[in-house]
């Protein structure tokens, strides 16, 4: 018999849809895939070369659990350069992906009886990871018309004696929204007053459009920094999803506790990938500009096309490679006599009948929406949007 914990856990829906999309393509079906949340670019050559060099030099053994010093130094330098934040080595941990860092963090911060505030729409893995720590996710509804902001007044209503933390993710998956400086200030102030931890997932920091300049909440006030743990990684910025390197920065007691969990579970992140991550962080950064330029063209096209579908509205993302169009006005219609009443039903219809893979909004806590990743070629985007338009027209 499996544990209750295992029985109540389902696989990550984003990864499940991506796997389904790939399996159908392997069967020879022409699927337009908007599922995968990973850049479609190859990892830059100088990063690959650093890994090859590491192998050839025999850098293939255990490393310190929390990562090697040259990588911690490269991460420290990144925070100084990009965010004006100063950290020491003992305030940095390298994990097997950003997701692993978040999992360890929730395990060390939260326990039964704790409440953790998470704005909706949220990245699919936050609530399950909070529950795996026996804590309770407390979800705050945010709205398209309000730029998906969390204000101090909104947050206040959800803080109780049990509240231990708040999870921020900006630019956000699945919407691509960012919090205003004013709201970050208000959230930080409430965190200080109520002794809350701020978990700031800034993994999409560099994937930003229209001149948006990311400001980490930790850099606004030292009192915020003292209670913030930034989680980050190289997966998205350098197209390194398969290398599994993430990192976190925060108070040293928390980082040490995360390292203890890591030492009893995974040990160090891959030695070879750590050397590649040093090359990514310390090497030329022009790859990012090239990738973001391409993403911006795709975003402009996709948002324009989605908005041209009658009844569909679409927030224009300020960052990430996702769009989160609102299909609520279309839901409730029927396809060949079958009612399409939910984002899951619409997702199924799109995949089965129109060979287009998307992720239903309900998985992000928002019914009636769909998430489309535009980390795929313009050719696939054009094909997929034509199919979505056909599906919308076929609903009556």
Q: Which residues of the shown chain bind ligand PMP in the complex (CB under 6 A)?
A: 37, 97-99, 123, 169, 173, 201, 203, 233, 235, 241, 246
Q: What's the alpha-carbon Rg for the chain, to the nearest Å? A: 21
Is 361 near ligand GLU (CB under 6 A)? no
Q: What is the DSSP string of 46-57?
A: HHHHHHHHHHHT
Residue 233 engages ligand GLU in binding (rule: CB under 6 A) = no
Residue 197, helix vs strand vs coil: strand
**In this complex, which beta carbon is closest to ligand PMP, that of residue 99 or of residue 275?**
99
* Residue 16 near ligand GLU by CB under 6 A: no
Q: For 133-194, give the DSSP string.
A: TT-EEEEEE--GGGTT---HHHHHTT--TTEEEEEEESSPTTT-----HHHHHHHHHHHHHH
Residue with smaller CB distance to ligand GLU, 13 or 188 = 13
Site string for ligand GLU, 153-182 (x = CB under 6 A): --------------------x---------
- The verdict on 124 binding ligand GLU (CB under 6 A) reads yes
Which position among 32, 34, 37, 225 is part of the footprint of ligand GLU (CB under 6 A)? 37
Q: Toward ligand GLU, which CB reaches closer, 120 or 154?
A: 120
Instruction: Decide which of ligand GLU, ligand PMP, none touches 319; Cβ closer than 5 to 8 Å per partner kind.
Output: none
Q: Which is nearer to ligand GLU, 120 or 159 (CB)?
A: 120
- Three-state DSSP at 9 gives coil
Structural element, H or E, at residue 229: strand 228-233
Nearer to ligand PMP, 67 or 246 (CB): 246
For the segment 301-320, give every residue that binds ligand GLU (CB under 6 A).
none
First to last CA, the chain: 46
**What are the start-end ranges of the E strands in 10-162?**
32-33, 92-95, 115-120, 136-141
Q: Report yes or no: 142 and 369 within 8 Å, Cβ to Cβ.
A: no
Query: Nearest-CA neighbor of 371 among 168, 113, 194, 175?
Result: 175
The interface partner of residue 169, options being ligand PMP, ligand GLU, none and the CB cut-off 5 to 8 Å by kind, is ligand PMP
Q: Does 107 bind ligand GLU (CB under 6 A)?
A: no
Binding site for ligand GLU (CB under 6 A): 12, 14-15, 37-38, 99, 124-125, 173
């Amino acid at each position: 018999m499996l544990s209750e914990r295992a029985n109540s856990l389902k696989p990550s829906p984003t990864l499940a849809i991506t796997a389904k999309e790939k399996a159908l393509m392997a069967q020879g079906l022409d699927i337009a895939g908007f599922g995968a949340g990973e850049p479609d670019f190859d990892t830059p050559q100088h990063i690959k070369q650093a890994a090859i060099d590491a192998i050839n030099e025999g850098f293939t053994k255990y490393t310190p659990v929390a990562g090697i010093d040259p990588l911690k130094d490269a991460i420290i330098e990144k925070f100084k350069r990009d965010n004006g934040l100063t950290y020491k080595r003992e305030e940095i941990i390298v994990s097997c992906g950003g997701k692993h860092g978040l999992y360890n963090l929730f395990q060390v911060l939260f326990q039964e009886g704790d409440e953790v505030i998470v704005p909706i729409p949220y990245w699919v893995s936050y609530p399950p990871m909070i529950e795996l720590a026996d804590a309770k996710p407390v979800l705050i509804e945010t709205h398209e018309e309000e730029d998906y902001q969390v204000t101090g007044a909104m947050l206040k209503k959800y803080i109780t004696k049990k509240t231990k933390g708040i999870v921020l993710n900006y630019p956000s998956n699945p919407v691509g929204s960012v919090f205003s400086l004013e709201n970050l200030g208000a959230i930080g102030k409430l965190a200080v007053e109520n002794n809350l931890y701020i978990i700031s997932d800034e993994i999409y920091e560099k994937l930003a459009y229209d001149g948006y300049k990311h400001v980490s909440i930790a850099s606004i006030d030292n009192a915020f920094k003292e209670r913030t743990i930034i989680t980050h990684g190289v997966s998205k910025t350098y197209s390194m999803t398969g290398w599994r390197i993430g990192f976190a920065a925060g108070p040293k007691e928390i980082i040490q506790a995360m390292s203890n969990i890591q030492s009893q579970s995974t040990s160090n992140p891959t030695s070879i990938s750590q050397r590649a991550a040093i090359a990514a962080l310390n090497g030329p950064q022009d790859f990012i500009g090239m990738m973001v330029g391409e993403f911006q063209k795709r975003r402009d096209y996709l948002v324009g096309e989605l908005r041209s579908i009658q009844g569909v509205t679409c927030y224009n993302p300020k960052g990430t490679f996702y769009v989160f169009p609102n299909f609520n006005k279309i839901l409730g219609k029927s396809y060949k006599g079958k009612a399409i009443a939910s984002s899951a039903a619409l997702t199924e219809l799109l995949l089965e009948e129109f060979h287009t893979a998307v992720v239903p909004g309900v998985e992000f806590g928002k019914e009636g929406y769909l998430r489309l990743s535009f980390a795929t070629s313009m050719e696939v985007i054009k094909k997929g949007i034509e199919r979505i338009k056909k599906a919308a027209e076929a609903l009556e």
